[in-house]
Amino acid sequence: MASSNPSATPLRIAIAGASGRMGRMLIEAVMQADDCRLAGALDVPGSPALGQDAAAFLGRPSGVPIVADLHEGLRDAQVLIDFTRPEGTLAHLAVCRELGVKLVIGTTGFTDAQKAEITEAAQAVSIVMAPNMSVGVNVVLRLLDMAARALSQGYDIEIIEAHHRHKVDAPSGTALKMGEVVAAALGRDLKECAVYGREGVTGERDPSTIGFATVRGGDIVGDHTVLFAGTGERIEITHKSSSRATYAQGSLRAARFLAGQPQGLFGMEAVLGLGA
């Protein structure tokens, strides 16, 4: 994506999980953006990628080696983009806070205590955290809020998500966010009304619940459907990702947004100007 102001100083971005699928997609996006510069690349100790040029897979060297030392990898960065694991993200967060590096968090699977730690850190540095950085998904979240309010009576709500075999958390962070949006629109608490599995003689469906179904297999990037099932009709709001590139481009939009934010915790709705 080209810069709207080519003369501006490029935004210096570091990437966590640099040798992973998402890490490489993020590196490629940064390398293609003329208003951004790759300033650091992190991976776990013991990774065979350590010491390699972070963009070697593109055949276009960046001059940035992949390192495990967080201070070394972040010393020249303004923003870190992190799609790793909760424990790794929190370790990165501590060093980002120390160095004044802003953070885009696409990691999912955080506990409430870990989320509280991120919220506290946002008093010192600005953070965008979202379970899905896709622009389309975040537009869908707004549509779900509207639909849930209009379909609050007489419709059963089910959320179906599918991802690749390597995904380690379920339901996905995006599915949970969808559930949270729908529950909030209905004046419910997702923790009280979510049903994450059904087996055996379950009895009739409780109309106040929000059901989740999870599929894992193959190389599915990410499919999400929210089903509003009424009498005589069904409304389905679906988003399907065919490439991780959409997450990478959304992450760059989030990084650009953070450039103007000294501190605070933001979601993608703020980045995209969709309101609260």
Same domain, 80 and 152: no
Same domain, 140 and 108: no
The helix or strand, by DSSP H or E, that contains position 141, with its residue range, turns out to be: helix 135-150
Structure tokens at 11: 């935004």
Tell me what the mean pLDDT of segment 257-265 comes to: 96
Same domain, 235 and 171: yes
- 258 domain-assigned: yes
Same domain, 83 and 151: no
Instruction: Classify each residue of 92-127 as buried b or exposed e, where b means 16 or more C-beta atoms within 10 Å of its C-beta.
Output: bbebbbeeebbbbbbbbbbeeebeebbeebbeebbb
Whether the pLDDT of residue 68 is over 80: the answer is yes
Domain housing 228: 135-241
Q: Which of 249, 217, 203 is nearest to 29 (CA)?
A: 249
Active-site residue flag, 240: no
pLDDT digits over 118-168, tens only? 999 999 999 999 988 999 999 999 999 999 999 999 999 999 999 999 999
Same domain, 25 and 120: yes
Whether the pLDDT of residue 10 is over 80: the answer is yes
- Predicted local confidence at residue 132, as pLDDT: 86
Catalytic residue among 163, 177, 224, 239: 163
Decide which of 237 and 21 is more confident. 237
- 263 domain-assigned: yes
Using a pLDDT cut of 90, give the percent of the chain over it: 91
Query: Is residue 16 a contact partner of residue 42, using CB atoms and an 8 Å limit?
Result: yes
Same domain, 249 and 229: no
CB atoms within 10 A of CB 140: 21
Query: Is residue 127 a contact partner of residue 121, using CB atoms and an 8 Å limit?
Result: yes
Same domain, 177 and 261: no
- Predicted local confidence at residue 116, as pLDDT: 97
* 79-82 vs 11-15, strand pairing mode: parallel
pLDDT band at 274 (very low <50, low <70, confident <90, very high): confident
pLDDT band at 276 (very low <50, low <70, confident <90, very high): low
Same domain, 219 and 197: yes
Active-site residue flag, 177: no
Whether the pLDDT of residue 1 is over 80: the answer is no
pLDDT digits over 206-232, tens only? 999 999 999 999 999 999 999 999 999
How is residue 10 annotated by DSSP?
Answer: P
Same domain, 33 and 105: yes
pLDDT digits over 229-245, tens only? 999 999 999 999 998 89
Same domain, 216 and 237: yes
Same domain, 61 and 27: yes
Strands (E), the chain: 11-15, 36-42, 66-67, 79-82, 102-105, 126-129, 156-163, 194-195, 210-216, 222-229, 234-241, 264-266
